[in-house]
C-alpha cells in the first residue's frame, strides 16, 4: 500500500518537474 502511494506520488512529481 505504501509503495503504491509512493509510486503515484513520484509519478506526479516527475510529471510536474518535466
Look at residue 18 in the predicted model and tell me its pLDDT. Answer: 80
Length of the chain: 18
Structure confidence by residue, pLDDT tens digits, 1-18? 678 999 999 999 999 988
CA-based R_g, the chain, Å: 8
Query: Using CB atoms within 10 A of its CB, is residue 1 exposed (0-12), middle (13-18) or buried (19+)?
Result: exposed
Look at residue 1 in the predicted model and tell me its pLDDT. Answer: 66
Look at residue 17 in the predicted model and tell me its pLDDT. Answer: 86
pTM as predicted: 0.16
Look at residue 2 in the predicted model and tell me its pLDDT. Answer: 79
Look at residue 5 in the predicted model and tell me its pLDDT. Answer: 92
Neighbours of 17 (CB within 10 A): 6
Look at residue 8 in the predicted model and tell me its pLDDT. Answer: 94
State the number of CA atoms in the 13 A half-sphere of 9 facing the CB. 6
Amino acid at each position: 500500500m505504501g509503495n503504491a502511494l509512493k509510486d503515484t506520488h513520484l509519478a506526479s512529481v516527475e510529471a510536474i518537474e518535466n
